[in-house]
Structure 1
Amino acid sequence: MKASTSDADPSETEVAFDVLADEHTQRILAAASRKPVSAQELADDCGVSPPTVYRRVDELTAVGFLDAEMQPTEDGNHYRTFETNVERIRIVIAEGSIHTDVKHGGDIVDRFGNLWHDLELDLHG
């Protein structure tokens, strides 16, 4: 599904729609929102193959919807864990345009900034 926009960055909106249109991506985001999980855990939880998980997590990390972190193992190897970095995606349709407003997760400072941003939006439309 492609979105056409007039005054928003069309690439951000199109990316959000395209990424979220996929059922596997939705399941991965939901599973990784509980706690950091490995690709194998995502494959098991979501009922998809590991290659499918890797394709989706690459897309999700590239657009900032998923964070990846390396975890060391006792034998000196390592693996990545993934955690959802999105709290809310809002679709705004107004005055002949459509765009997305993505609220990313973060620490308390980020959350205060997001709260302030939301208050400004409520006050100014």
Structure 2
Amino acid sequence: MSEDADISELLALLDDEYARAILTETSVEPMSASILSDRCEASLPTVYRRLERLQKCDLISEQTTLAPDGNHYSVYEARLEGLEVTLDDGELTLEVRRRDEDVADKFTRLWEGMR
């Protein structure tokens, strides 16, 4: 995929009201998809589709959390810290700043990717 396509895909994603709402909500604290569905006033399938697109662009991370009853579920947290669009000499560039993941989260993501 070309850099222009990446910019277009990212800007189209950020143009989506549900994607922006998910990023806004998860920038405060990690949340489950069901909580995001309530907070963003979106159906659960809509939330999961946006989460998938946000993860593809590495703007959100997923962690597994243990519930008090012993079950586990996923929570999502925004990784987007900042975005800068620059137009210089006929060239459009996009700089995305992401929050660093801690070592445990990186290990978990690596481990889950191996399964």
Partner of 2:59: 65
Q: Deviations over 1:37-81 (max 9, x none)?
A: 000111111111111000000110111000001112244422110
Relative to the length of structure 1, the TM-score reads: 0.74
Equivalent-residue separation in structure 2 for 1:73 and 1:31 (angstroms): 21
Unaligned runs of 5+ residues in structure 1 are 1-7, 109-125
Q: 2:23 aligns with which of 14, 29, 36?
A: 29
1:82 and 2:76 equivalent? yes
Relative to structure 1, is the Cα distance of residues 80 and 107 closer, same or farther in structure 2, using a 3 angstrom cutoff? closer
Q: What is the Cα-based RMSD across aligned positions, in Å?
A: 1.7
Identity %: 29
- Give the structure with higher Rg (CA): 1
**Residue 14 of structure 1 aligns to a residue in which SS?**
helix
How far 1:107 sits from its partner (Å)?
6.2
Equivalent-residue separation in structure 1 for 2:5 and 2:58 (angstroms): 14
**Relative contact order, CA 8 A, sep 6+: which one is greater?**
1
Relative to the length of structure 2, the TM-score reads: 0.80
1:38 and 2:32 equivalent? yes
- Give the letter for the 2:29 counterpart: K
Counting matched residue pairs gives: 101
Instruction: After TM superposition, list the pairs within 5 Å mapping 1:1-125 onto structure 2.
Output: 9-106=3-100
Equivalent-residue separation in structure 2 for 1:65 and 1:29 (angstroms): 8
Equivalent-residue separation in structure 1 for 2:17 and 2:60 (angstroms): 16
Q: Deviations over 1:6-45 (max 9, x none)?
A: xx82132112111101011111100010000000111111
- Give the letter for the 2:21 counterpart: R
Unaligned runs of 5+ residues in structure 2 are 103-115
Equivalent-residue separation in structure 2 for 1:9 and 1:37 (angstroms): 31
